[in-house]
Amino acid sequence: MKSAIAGAVLALTTSASAIAADRPVPPDPTLEFVFEEEVALSAGVAVGTTPYGGRSIAPIAGGTFKGPEISGTVLPGGWDWQLLRADGCLDLKADYFIKTDDGVTINVVNTAVACRTPDGKPGPVRTHAVFEAPNGKYDWMNRQTFIGSLVPGDEKVQSVRIRFYRVK
């Protein structure tokens, strides 16, 4: 049985290697800055310990965003879901809406994992954003891949600052 499985794996990998050798190597991705947002958060709500870890949520209170070709406000009413894992990392998932200066409302679902470095300092937080824009001027956002860089925002107002980049 083991030799049959090993033979099947070898056949698949050999076949995949032969196919890959016949195809051009895809270009390395590059990043294009799209916009930066400052998202204000209301006081967090502790949900408690779940089978997955310590759960809390922070209501999104509003904010602003600005980029070379898109700008507007972050609408209040979304949520930032946070899960403190057993390994000390924090899973983040935010679901909210932005409204462009020309009146278009776009849904944002942004996920990230925030962990400390081995020396205990906060590590960089990279996000993966998915946008849902209505058909029209901003529907290009529905067909692209975006990553972000998240840091603490304005200390006077509990907020986070996120820079979004399109992967090209």
Q: What is the dihedral of CA 147, 153, 159, 161, to 10 degrees?
A: -20
Tokens of 67: 């980029």
Smallest CA-to-CA distance from 63 within 47, 78, 44 is with: 78
* pLDDT classification of 155: cutoffs 50, 70, 90: confident
Q: Taken in order 107, 72, 138, 151, is the CA torsion positive or negative?
A: negative
Tokens of 66: 């600005």
The ranges assigned to domains in the chain are 30-167
CA distances from 84 to 100, 147, 149, 162 (A): 33, 22, 20, 20
**96 has pLDDT over 70:** yes
Averaged pLDDT for residues 94-99: 98
CATH pick for 30-167 out of 1.10.540.10, 3.40.50.300, 2.40.110.10, 2.40.160.20: 2.40.160.20
Q: Assess contact for 141 and 112: CB atoms under 8 A.
A: no
Mean pLDDT of the chain: 91
Residues contacting residue 16 through CB under 8 Å, at least 6 positions apart: none
Q: What is the pLDDT of residues 103-153, one digit of tens each?
A: 999 999 999 999 999 998 999 999 999 999 999 999 999 999 999 999 998
Q: Against a cut of 0.85, is the pTM above it?
A: no
Q: What is the pLDDT of residues 10-54, one digit of tens each?
A: 555 555 555 556 889 999 999 999 999 999 999 999 999 999 999
Averaged pLDDT for residues 92-97: 98
**9 has pLDDT over 90:** no
**8 has pLDDT over 60:** no
* pLDDT classification of 161: cutoffs 50, 70, 90: very high
